[in-house]
């Protein structure tokens, strides 16, 4: 397994011999962290953010049940799979652990093959969940982030802009007369046009923090952190001009084109308002652009 691709595991056990045994079994394929009691385990999880936790049940002061309860109560740690490592064989003990959110059990004494398989199974489940989560945040047609992803990013950037007293700008972009384009050239060609527009955002947004998404239908949004009104207007005009100059070919070689209208809004820490106000004001600017004849940029 490539070093950069290694997953990490936190082993929590009050017996050094158990930590050493599990480390010996798993260290060739995983990065191993260790903790010898419950409080240390919680601190280690916060510090290292392991992919999986192997947690002993019987420990002094804070047992494994108390540790998993604390982990599942926190938004930051509740989704990390916890596999109990235990010598307990009572069905009631197993039921209690599963009820508290344990993903699986590994029994003592350890069988290296079983340890590896149970850990591998959890890693595979984790990878599948991450893939599902990533796809759920992506627009399948344009491969841009989708509206859900944009909403999450906006909340994060809005909070950061407030904390750091920085401006933040938004562009709301709508393809002009898209229904007519679809009716004229067909829905498949309409999809091609949307994909072509999406590629322009990738080319024009050069800073790592800039974020474009498909809002829905023929509408897109662009988030520009730490960007003034004049800077946002400049980016919007560049996007508008690039899309206007696009040559979008049909299967028969016919060249077609589209234009966009863009509404721009900038929020700064001197102003009051919410993210909903932020977006709705940009929408109002977009409608101004359309009423003024389309294929143009308007600001609040």
**Residues marked as catalytic:** 218
Judge contact between 173 and 198, C-beta under 8 A: no
Q: What is the CA radius of gyration of the chain?
A: 26
- State both tokens at 241: 């001009």
Judge contact between 258 and 198, C-beta under 8 A: no
Relative to beta strand 104-107, strand 82-86 is parallel
Sheet holding 82-86, edge to edge: 30-35, 7-12, 52-56, 82-86, 104-107
Closest CA to 55 of 76, 44, 1: 44
Question: What is the rounded CA–CA span in Å between residue 228 and residue 299?
Answer: 12
Three-class secondary structure of residue 298 per DSSP: strand
Q: How far is CA 80 from CA 83, 107, 292, in A?
A: 10, 20, 53
How many CB atoms within 10 Å of residue 10? 24
């Amino acid at each position: 397994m490539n070093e950069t691709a290694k997953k990490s595991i936190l082993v929590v056990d009050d017996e050094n011999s158990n930590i050493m045994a599990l480390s010996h079994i798993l260290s060739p394929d995983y990065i191993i962290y260790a903790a010898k009691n419950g409080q240390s385990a919680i601190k280690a999880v916060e510090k290292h953010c392991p992919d999986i936790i192997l947690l002993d049940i019987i420990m002094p002061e804070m047992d494994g049940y108390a540790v998993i309860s604390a982990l599942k109560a926190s938004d930051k740690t509740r989704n990390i799979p916890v596999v109990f490592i235990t010598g307990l064989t009572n069905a009631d003990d197993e039921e209690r652990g599963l009820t508290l959110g344990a993903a699986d059990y590994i029994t003592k004494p350890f069988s290296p093959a079983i340890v590896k398989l149970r850990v591998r199974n959890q890693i595979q489940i984790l990878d599948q969940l991450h893939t599902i989560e990533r796809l759920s945040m992506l627009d399948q047609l344009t491969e841009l982030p989708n509206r859900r992803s944009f909403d999450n990013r906006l909340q994060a950037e809005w909070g950061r802009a407030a904390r750091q007293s920085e401006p933040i700008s938004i562009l709301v972009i709508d393809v002009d007369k898209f229904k007519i384009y679809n009716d004229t050239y067909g829905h498949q060609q309409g999809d091609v046009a949307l994909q072509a527009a999406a590629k322009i955002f990738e080319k024009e947004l050069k800073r790592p923090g800039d974020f474009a998404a498909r809002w829905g239908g023929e509408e897109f949004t662009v988030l520009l952190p730490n960007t003034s009104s004049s800077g946002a207007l400049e980016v919007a005009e560049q996007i508008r001009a690039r899309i206007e100059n696009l040559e979008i070919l049909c299967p028969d070689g016919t060249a077609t084109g589209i234009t966009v209208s863009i509404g721009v809004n900038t929020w700064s820490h001197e102003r009051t308002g919410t993210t909903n106000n932020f977006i709705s004001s940009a929408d109002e600017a977009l409608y101004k652009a359309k009423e003024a004849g389309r294929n143009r940029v308007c600001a609040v």
